[in-house]
Amino acid sequence: MESINHEFQQQYQSQNKKPIKLSGQNLKDLFKSLGAILILLIVALIVLNSFMFTVGEREQVVITQFDKIVRVIVDNINDPTVKALKNNPRFADVTIEQGKGLFFKIPLIQKAEHFSNQLLTYDTQAEEVFTKDKKKILLDNFAQWKIDNPATFMVSIGSKDAAHQRIDEFIYSKMREEIGKIDAHMLIADKTYIMTMLQSVEDYVNSQLEPLGIKVMDIRIKRTEFPDETKPSIYDQMRSERQAVATKYRADGQKQARTIRAEAEKNATVIEAQAYEQAQKLKGEGDAEALKIYAEAYNVDPEFYDFWKTLQTYRAVFNEDTTIIISPDSEFAKYIYRK
């Protein structure tokens, strides 16, 4: 029995030691199998991709079927522009969804168009404009905008390049109108007017572009450049304007100072008069009280009161250098000559 097992093990080991030989035909069959598997995987991915699509965090998607919009996937279904889309008879049959991630569509018939939901910046082309005083200025702007309604944007505009062209047209048409109302120096000197003007331009541009699915968030002037021949006159005009403003500020300050000074003097006069009136009132009350005390003292001892009052008079009249000639019979000198 042991010899049989030993012989079997030897045969098994000898078989394992034999090298596996692959013929050219075998390799060819193997590569064909791998190629078929790879082709099947690619076809499967293509089929799956035709069924599915993803919506990124920075995207909103429009699904079309035979070039007709059937679905819109947005960031916020409660956004006013989305609600307006629902109420638009043109898109009455469009399904509106909210979300991000993986979505499904009908393969071959439906297509997914992706649009950005981020704030986009458009640097406009510099153009020449004319001011009220016929000065030529090279104006360069930039605008920040976003796709507010992807369905309307796709139907009306279609691409960012086309959107930039429309934004450029509306911005400069309104800019020319507004800058034509002011002199050249105001573009630099009057910042308040410029901010008001830019807000007016933004409101106008939005009134034209919002029906097309675009909302402009901000418009700013990046650069204003004057031709060399007009710079001296513009700067002189700006300098004169600033000097006039400074003179006005100084005049207003002096006027206000005079007003404050006059008011202070008036208040001081009133306070002094009130103080004097109060002092006189207190003095009168004091004199009345003194007279009352004198009267009471007189009633208690008239002779002593008469003596005390006379002494008070002497003190008021006489000093070390006083010389007086008076008769001994005088009532005034009765206490001087009395023995």
Cβ-based neighbours of 256, under 8 Å, separated by 6 or more: none
261 and 272 housed in the same domain: yes
Give a yes or no: residue 240 inside a domain.
yes
At 318 the pLDDT is 72
Give a yes or no: residue 21 inside a domain.
no
Q: What is the CATH number of the domain that holds 183?
A: 3.30.479.30
289 and 205 housed in the same domain: no
189 and 98 housed in the same domain: no
Give a yes or no: residue 22 inside a domain.
no
Tokens of 289: 């009280």
At 26 the pLDDT is 64
Selection from 118, 122, 135, 133 nearest residue 161 by Cα: 122
**Locate tokens 């000074």: which residue?**
261
78 and 177 housed in the same domain: no
pLDDT-derived band at 6, boundaries 50, 70, 90? low
146 and 211 housed in the same domain: yes
Residue where a domain terminates, one of 177, 203, 227: 227
Average pLDDT, stretch 211-237?
76
- Residue 54, strand partner residues: 102
Please, are residues 188 and 149 in contact by the beta-carbon 8 Å criterion? Answer: no
179 and 98 housed in the same domain: no
At 73 the pLDDT is 87
Neighbours of 201 (CB within 10 A): 24
Cβ-based neighbours of 311, under 8 Å, separated by 6 or more: 335
313 and 245 housed in the same domain: no
Q: Helix 191-209 to helix 160-179 angle, to the nearest 10 degrees?
A: 140
Please, are residues 73 and 95 in contact by the beta-carbon 8 Å criterion? Answer: no
Residue 216: pLDDT over 70: yes
**Locate tokens 């800019």: which residue?**
175
243 and 220 housed in the same domain: no
Query: What is the model's pTM?
Result: 0.55
211 and 156 housed in the same domain: yes
Average pLDDT, stretch 109-130?
86
Average pLDDT, stretch 164-192?
84
Neighbours of 237 (CB within 10 A): 17
Quote the number of domains for the chain.
4
**What is the spatial distance between Cα 18 and Cα 291, in angstroms, rounded to a whole number?**
153
Give a yes or no: residue 251 inside a domain.
yes
DSSP codes of every residue in 249-308 = HHHHHHHHHHHHHHHHHHHHHHHHHHHHHHHHHHHHHHHHHHHHHHHHHHHH-HHHHHHH
Give a yes or no: residue 178 inside a domain.
yes
279 and 249 housed in the same domain: yes
Which CA distances in Å does 329 have to 111, 307, 334? Answer: 142, 16, 7
Residue where a domain terminates, one of 182, 199, 227: 227
Q: Among 96-110, 115-129, 191-205, 305-319, which stretch is predicted with the lowest mean pLDDT?
A: 305-319
166 and 245 housed in the same domain: no
200 and 288 housed in the same domain: no
Greater pLDDT, 184 or 282: 282
Residue pLDDT, tens place only, 22-79: 456 666 666 667 777 788 777 767 766 677 888 888 889 988 888 888 888 888 888 8
At 217 the pLDDT is 92
Q: Which domain holds residue 314?
A: 301-337
